[in-house]
Structure 1
Amino acid sequence: MNDLKTENLLSIINTTMNYMSKDLIGHCMRVTYNLVCILQDDPRFTYQEVCKIAWTVLYHDIGILEERSVRDLLEEELEIKNGGFSHAEYGCLFVKYFSSFPEYYEIIKFHHSAYREFKDLDIDDKIKDVIVTLKVIDTIDLYNIYKQQLDIGKMKWDAYEVAIAKKVNTYFENKKEMSQKEIENNLACFLKNMILSPIQKYKMLKILAYSFDFKSRVTAVHCTTVVEISSMLAKLFEVDERTYKNICMGALLHDLGKIAIPHHILESTGKLNEEDWAIMKSHVTITEEILNTNVDNDILQIAIRHHETLDGMGYPYGIIGSQLTLPQRIVAVSDIVSALSQERSYKSPLSLDKICSVLNGMCQNNKICPVVLQMFLKNKDKIYKRILHITYETNIMYQKINEDYNDAMRQKV
């Protein structure tokens, strides 16, 4: 993870978030950059604080579960339904439980809420200012996307919010026009002097991976179990440290492109038609577009080859077995084991014996690596026990997030 530079991490986050909605391309990056420009001139904030807030705000729309139009977002903002957007309530929980900077989760939680919703809460006054400033910047950007001019007088904002909105308007009036690439470069330049640990970088990528897995209870544990199985197999093969880290990172990122796949396809209870199956398979090439040039090529190839098979009949590129490395084969088998061991919308979880039977059949048909399969079979009880433990822990977290979300929404009614 030390090889992952600030600009590459930013690019991965930005590109992934862009795939959540075609109407919101560049939105998270622009909003974050404009907030940074305002906060860096505020003497109440240290450089480190501004950076932590920036890394947090990049995820301010991570709770959006489905493609949404800017028109819908603007209409809800004007109406302030139930005191705020549900995606803010849901998204803040990813920051609270998975982020490197969970202390700032309330910035996400309230970024579409009326000031009255949080003014009496035990939140630092300067953070309350950040929340309202983010809300205004976010709203202005949504209006700009829709080619509309924000009229502060039409917003249901109180005097405190209007005062901050006027300051933000002054900033935009004096701000020079920039391309999206200039904004991304300038933000990376600002953030690069804050050294992130490998664990902090990993957590930032983990938020992205979990954001689509946690769309549903039946997919919530997939990424976690793929990483765990891959990690265990890599250790059993006694790969070197760099290869081990590459395997774990490739496993974490292997389904990143699913963030662009519609929920009804991911959760289909029946066989997908030809069109939907093509969309589902596109998650691999989307993953490639997100990661390409941003991660080491070994990690990239591990991530995008998990659906390739030894006989060359896999996707997306039909690569044959002689071109598939051991790390790629490990993650491919781990992905299959995870899928077979978990409940899906179209099936129940399989027993260990049934999983082994399916894997043996795939090996006989020249689909998966016999060497990796034998290592799995030799250690199947230990690996399966770990799968069950990880499944239990992740389901507890999934339930916790949904309980927190439902509790928060009930309080708004």
Structure 2
Amino acid sequence: MAVEYITSRNMVDLIYETLRLMNKSMAHHSMRVSYIMSKILEVQGTYEKYEIADFMVLALLHDIGAFKTDDVRKQLTFEAKNALPHSVYGYLFLKYLSPLDEQSKIILYHHTDYSKTKDMDYRYRFELEALKAAEIMDIWQRSFGAKFDHKLINNYAGTKFHPRVCELLDTAVKEFDLFTKLRDKTFKEEYAESLEYVLLSDDEKEKYLKMLMYCTGLKEEQTVSETVATIYVCRELGRKLKLSELDKNEVYYAAMLHDIGMLAIPVELLNAPRKLGEEEKNLIKTHVDIMEKTLENKLSKEIIKVAAAHHERFDGNGYPRGLKASVMGQKEAILQISEQVVNSMEPKPYREARTKEQIVDDLNNGIISGKYEGIVADTFLKYYDEIMDKAKQRADMALVTHQKLQRNYNQVYSSLV
């Protein structure tokens, strides 16, 4: 990204806000674990601030697999549970779909006892042990309330937890008054200051943004494949229209994140095997406003503007604002048409996939009625087969890594059972 579309600090905020869309309690838990882990590493005295900040981001994502494999409502209880499924999925998710491929093994073993990991030859084994302690501390302090005593962890030193980490935890509690700050939520200022040291390269930001797009598949797989297809239809259509590099990139990121608000929509509505009622349709329509609020003040205003218009139409009959042609341009039109075509091609529980002939008729009628921007729609029709063939090839290649994750899940899980 030659132009900085998002800062490192805003990227971390966007990750957190995306987790909140999926489940607020889990997102808050992840933030607290990230804070506790950061203080354990800080009192160790061997880490630079930017190194601690990097592990804080990892800790923020430590339970990402639970959104796919577990009932997240039960995830934070003190009751014993099988943590392996979400540990495996989270490990693979970060390994294949984030910049944290080397550190991802921390997630795989973050519920495994110290007695089983102490001889592991792994560069980040100590950070693994710190994350284990940080997570159990948050679960215990939330479960036990006033009866919580962090020194309970010492009963498991050398068995479940690294003895040195137990010592560091005690030091951190004394030095920072950790759990008082967690209870009264005053830790957030320290937490935010520590994250100012996150320094991400353009490539890392790109990977994190793609990771957030793939998060939509944690709830509903088809959303990912449709989003990826939409991205590449936009790319090919933008080329035919000879958009500038800046404009192409703005459409690219808008397409990547346009449906992130769907993470807040109940999955039973997304997968409903029937036509939805008006109230249900209106609830789904809120995903646009949710997306806009999630991205606000994090990505550039132009990217958000394009993404927020993906269900608008040039005749004013779209949603959520009923915008008309006078306030929209080619970039909005490209995403609108690309998203509509990809959506039409996919079968839904309540309708069959539409044929090329039906899609072409819709676009032609849309040009006549003013529903679609004429130049963009006409260009799409002129190069329909070329655009769709190239977009399909690129989308299929982009989805290979995601599909590898799905294939490897059972293999990794079986090897650890």
Structure 2-normalised TM-score?
Answer: 0.86
**In structure 1, distance between residues paired with 2:267 and 2:112:** 26
2:273 corresponding residue in structure 1: 269
Q: Which moved more, 1:247-256 or 1:232-241?
A: 232-241
1:12 aligns with 2:8: no
Give the unaligned 5+ runs of structure 1: none
1:171 corresponding residue in structure 2: 172
Residue 408 of structure 1 deviates from its aligned partner by 2.7
Q: Equivalent residues in 2 for 1:319-358 (5 A)?
A: 319-358=323-362
Amino acid aligned to 1:305: A
1:186 aligns with 2:193: yes
Residue 410 of structure 1 deviates from its aligned partner by 2.8
1:284 corresponding residue in structure 2: 288
Question: Deviation digits for residues 31-53 of structure 1, max 9, x if unmatched?
Answer: 22332333245465556644443
Residues 50 and 371 of structure 1: is their aligned pair in 2 closer, same or farther, counting only changes over 3 Å?
same
Amino acid aligned to 1:140: M
2:129 corresponding residue in structure 1: 132
Q: SS state of the match for residue 242, structure 1?
A: helix
Q: Does the aligned pair in 2 maintain the 1:312–1:318 contact within 8 Å?
A: yes
Residue 327 of structure 1 deviates from its aligned partner by 0.8
Residue 351 of structure 1 deviates from its aligned partner by 4.0
**In structure 1, distance between residues paired with 2:37 and 2:405:** 28
Residue 62 of structure 1 deviates from its aligned partner by 2.2
**In structure 2, distance between residues paired with 1:59 and 1:207:** 11
1:28 aligns with 2:35: no
Structure 1-normalised TM-score?
Answer: 0.86
Q: Equivalent residues in 2 for 1:136-215 (5 A)?
A: 136-145=133-142, 148=145, 149=148, 152=152, 159=159, 161=161, 163=163, 164-176=165-177, 177=181, 179=186, 181-191=188-198, 194=199, 196-215=200-219
Q: Does the aligned pair in 2 maintain the 1:18–1:24 contact within 8 Å?
A: yes
- How many residue pairs align between the two structures? 405
2:245 corresponding residue in structure 1: 241
Q: Does the aligned pair in 2 maintain the 1:218–1:343 contact within 8 Å?
A: no
Residue 160 of structure 1 deviates from its aligned partner by 5.5
Residue 218 of structure 1 deviates from its aligned partner by 2.7
Amino acid aligned to 2:345: S
Amino acid aligned to 2:40: I
1:79 corresponding residue in structure 2: 80
Amino acid aligned to 1:108: I
**In structure 1, distance between residues paired with 2:116 and 2:409:** 16
Question: Deviation digits for residues 8-61 of structure 1, max 9, x if unmatched?
Answer: 212211111112212234333332233233324546555664444333333223
Q: Does the aligned pair in 2 maintain the 1:352–1:384 contact within 8 Å?
A: no
Residues 303 and 67 of structure 1: is their aligned pair in 2 closer, same or farther, counting only changes over 3 Å?
farther
Give the root-mean-square deviation of aligned CA atoms. 3.0
**In structure 1, distance between residues paired with 2:241 and 2:61:** 37
Amino acid aligned to 2:55: I
Question: Deviation digits for residues 228-258 of structure 1, max 9, x if unmatched?
Answer: 1112222222222222221111111111112
1:386 aligns with 2:383: no
**In structure 2, distance between residues paired with 1:374 and 1:140:** 60
Q: SS state of the match for residue 212, structure 1?
A: helix
Q: Does the aligned pair in 2 maintain the 1:63–1:89 contact within 8 Å?
A: yes
Give the unaligned 5+ runs of structure 2: none
Residues 257 and 238 of structure 1: is their aligned pair in 2 closer, same or farther, counting only changes over 3 Å?
same
Amino acid aligned to 2:168: K
Q: Does the aligned pair in 2 maintain the 1:329–1:372 contact within 8 Å?
A: yes
Q: Which moved more, 1:180-189 or 1:251-260?
A: 180-189
2:59 corresponding residue in structure 1: 57
Question: Deviation digits for residues 125-151 of structure 1, max 9, x if unmatched?
Answer: xx2221121122123223444563367
Residues 340 and 117 of structure 1: is their aligned pair in 2 closer, same or farther, counting only changes over 3 Å?
farther
Q: SS state of the match for residue 102, structure 1?
A: coil
Question: Deviation digits for residues 161-198 of structure 1, max 9, x if unmatched?
Answer: 0622453243134315363651453133222xx3x322
Amino acid aligned to 1:79: A
Residue 333 of structure 1 deviates from its aligned partner by 1.1
Q: Does the aligned pair in 2 maintain the 1:70–1:145 contact within 8 Å?
A: no
Amino acid aligned to 2:171: T
